[in-house]
Amino acid sequence: MSENSAFTKAKHYVESHVHDGETGRKGTVGPCITISREAGAGSGLIAEKLINLLSPLSINKNEEWAVFDKNLIEKVLEDHHLPKQIAKFLGEEKKSLLTQTMNEMLGVHPPLLKLYHKATETILHLAHIGNCIIIGRGANIIAASLNNAYHVRLIAPLDLRIKNVQEFYGNSKNEAVEFVKKEDAKRNAFIKEHFNKDAEDPLLYHTVINTGLFSLDEVAQIIAESVRIKFPKFYTN
């Protein structure tokens, strides 16, 4: 799915669930599934397959589902009326202290802690609405106390993840190796810096799955069945 298409679906999801800033529920709040992942483990494709499995089984079949990954940043900007050029500062990549300080002094963006606070507000808002999958950005930690949240960690052997990145982005092997190493380090540092947690700690998740041992369809089926077992009230038998 393209980034524009994902954002369009996310926007439609929010518009269908929210009215004048309040959740306008037609039925019961659905599950929020968070996905933490190693680079190249297949999170985006699995998320789409997961929606296709869970949506037809939901008690409220007419309610929208959406995946929030890259489009989450656009949602944060929209929620808090921030200019689009700030998007690059809301990613998971760590900025140097000097860069942060200079940008804040020059008015390039508000203090990063304030920006991340806004992102946290948006993630919590989406999680409370339910029927969504939030990928990355510490969503599992932010939504840890919510009764409708289910947290997944996707891992895979390094060679497989490199191959997946090559196929998905059309990179050379060297480019894919560099991408995977950089993304893993960036994501782990983000969790450590903002939440003082270890992203690889299995106790942060309901389920940890090695996607190298299953097909993507099988991974989606495992998660879908686990969510149905955890939250039977949301689904038909």
Question: pLDDT, tens digit, for every residue of 6-40?
Answer: 666 666 666 666 553 444 444 567 899 999 999 99
151 exposure class (CB count in 10 Å sphere: 0-12, 13-18, 19+): buried
Q: What is the pTM of this model?
A: 0.77
> Would you state the CATH architecture of domain 3-227?
3-Layer(aba) Sandwich (3.40)
**What is the domain partition of the chain in residue ranges?**
3-227
From the list 59, 53, 68, the residue with the least C-alpha distance to 26 is 59
Residue ranges of the chain with pLDDT lower than 50?
Answer: 20-26, 85-86, 89-90, 95-110
pLDDT for 39: 94
pLDDT for 191: 93
pLDDT for 65: 85
R_g of the chain, CA atoms, integer Å: 18
pLDDT for 149: 95
Would you say 35 and 143 are in contact if contact means Cβ atoms under 8 Å apart? no
pLDDT for 115: 65
The arrangement of strands across the sheet holding 149-155 comes to 66-68, 132-135, 32-37, 149-155, 207-210
**Residue 41 and residue 35: Cα distance in Å, rounded?**
11
Tokens 């003082």, located at residue: 196
